[in-house]
Structure 1
Amino acid sequence: MADVLEFINNNFKWLSAFAYLAFVGLLAWFNQRFTPRQDHEQLERRLSQMDQLMTQVKADIKHLPTKEEVHRLDKTLSGLNETIHATQEGISRLERKTDLLLENELRND
């Protein structure tokens, strides 16, 4: 133990310089490894904003129709389109018949 104390006493300048350099190196490593508080707080704010946006998007997506619902709507609309087309054909036939009846009525007068 006395030898260790004598070694420290004889080489105190070198040991303190080494400890100082080790401490500076440790601080430099901490600076590279960890983010500053301001950057951390800024990232935390941005993450919080993105969390809120994600919550809004999820709430909006809940109200959108599913794939199956869209498929059913598509089938229903195509059926309605066919019905409208058939109705238009029926109306066209009725128009032709009424035109013929009107022509016959006008010729007979």
Structure 2
Amino acid sequence: MIPLGAVEFSPGDVALILAVLTLGATALALPATLTFAWVGHLRSTHHRGWAAFGYWLTGTAICLATTALAAGKGLGWWSVPLGWIPTLLLAVVLKPRSDPQAS
């Protein structure tokens, strides 16, 4: 039988749905966020792991926000690669240049 009324979710159901969506979006953002974390690792002089983790968190926030905005515009699955663009551009801009005179 098909229910004909409005679907109602409990607060626990809503929390579970949001957790699954957030984890899925974070997994889909990994190509861009891991690249940005590597840039943070390269730029750091002390505590490289913590720097990489901070860059990863920042990249994840940027990716998720951009993906959500693109999905809100009705772009469907195209919003996932579009969400990578700002984080990957930041990775290119912030990547440390190798010093040719250091060798």
> TM-score, length-normalised on structure 2?
0.29
Normalized per residue, which structure has more helix? 1
> TM-score, length-normalised on structure 1?
0.28
